[in-house]
Amino acid sequence: MKWLLVMLGGPFALLPASVLAFGFSFGQVSAAQTLTVSALPPEARSTLQLIKQGGPFPYPRDGVVFGNYERVLPKQPRGYYHEYTVKTPGAHNRGARRIVCGVVPECYYTGDHYQIFQRIEEGK
């Protein structure tokens, strides 16, 4: 049996290749999964505003390249997507919430550390 080492939003896992061959998905995004800027948590609206103005960003890893290794977001060349931390009240670290952007306004919100992405719809 063939085994593959895959990253599941953090730790690595060893899975049978057959699992991936049958279309198992580690994350998802679809046109139906959108939300308006006003529906974002207030901390995400603040992060989105910082992204639009080019910073300054509160976390050192804000703006790093998001690899899209799970291929959840639309396929683009490496370096196209960048990730930004959305402050999580009560968290003692960066928490699980992020905004990932391509060319702004193409941005996606994830509240569960890259498992489900929602496209942020501007102007609605």
- The residue annotated as part of the active site, out of 70, 82, 113, 121, is 113
φ, ψ of residue 109 in degrees (nearest 5):
-110, 135
Token couple for 70: 């799970």
Three-state SS annotation for 91-112 = CCCCCCCEEEECCCCCEEEECC
- The residue annotated as part of the active site, out of 82, 83, 106, 121, is 83
3-state secondary structure of 19: helix
- 122 catalytically annotated: no
- 82 catalytically annotated: no
> So which residues are the catalytic ones?
83, 113
